Amino acid sequence: MKTIGRFIILIFLMVVFTNVTAMAVPTQITVMVRAKDAKFIGNSMSGALITIRNVNTGELLAKGVTTGTTGDTEKTMKKPLQRGVPLSDEKSARFNATIDISEPTLLEIRGYGPLAQLQSAGTVSVTQWIIPGKHINSGDGILLEVPGFAVDILAPPAHVQLSVDKLPRKIEVRANVIMMCGCPVTPGGLWDANRFEVRALVRKNGKPGGEFTLTYAGEPSQFVGSLEVREEGVYEVAVYAYDPSNGNTGVDTTTVVVQ
């Protein structure tokens, strides 16, 4: 009987020990998304979508959107970077998550945005080991950087149709070009329009049809040029913004149908 009793006690202790070791520990993670060469993606651009997954199982552990401001311009863009000094302040856009893990877990943290300009939205991700109870929520937390410009063609609207009997003619091509955080582009500004190349690439009936430059239109972030149309066909217009100093690039497209 004593042997049976000891066996039962042993089984009981093993079950208790297993439950204790498998107990999930709440672990806090802060994720921030910064636009390349610019500021944080927050409320002004509808934020960036954040997903946190277990790499080994694919399980979605947390999901949400960064909220807050683009941050302090002085800290993010003007002061030299210093080790251990965060770029963000308490109002800067972020997503705070609490995940429950019971063992060291390799996570994929993914950001997608800006959500206000889906034609320009980009995805960036990183993998990192997380230890139960060892929070990553100080400073900038896990900081992701999304490259690109948010380019939005304002004119002509997509699939505009023109009559061939009104040719030849010039069609205004106007685009809004901003940083992915929503920061404006102006000549001589912090994001200098004079430094960026804004051009349109044209394809006619699926074949190369020339290109032309869009120049600053006198309003913040606005660039304008003209598409010369001489004959019928489908014209695809891709407007790009490019920063030769760092390779930052953004694109939007539209079409003109002449028949």
**Residue 15 domain-assigned?**
no
Quick one: 256 exposed, middle or buried, by C-beta within 10 A (0-12, 13-18, 19+)? buried
pLDDT score, position 127: 98
CATH number of the domain residue 134 falls in:
2.60.40
Average pLDDT, the chain: 93
**Residue 9 domain-assigned?**
no
Least confident of 5-9, 38-42, 171-175, 206-210: 5-9
Region class of 115: left (phi > 0), else alpha (psi between -120 and 50), else beta:
alpha
Q: Write the pLDDT tens digit of every residue in 30-86.
A: 999 999 999 999 999 999 999 999 999 999 999 999 999 999 999 999 999 899 999
Q: Write the pLDDT tens digit of every residue in 134-177.
A: 999 999 999 999 999 999 999 999 998 988 877 888 999 999 99
pLDDT score, position 17: 46
Question: Within 13 Å, how many C-alpha atoms sit on residue 231's CB side?
Answer: 3
**Residue 16 domain-assigned?**
no
Q: How far is CA 189 from the centre of its chain?
A: 23
Whether the per-residue pLDDT at 248 is higher than 80: the answer is yes
Q: 128 and 90, same structural domain?
A: yes
Say how many domains are in the chain: 2
**Residue 159 domain-assigned?**
yes
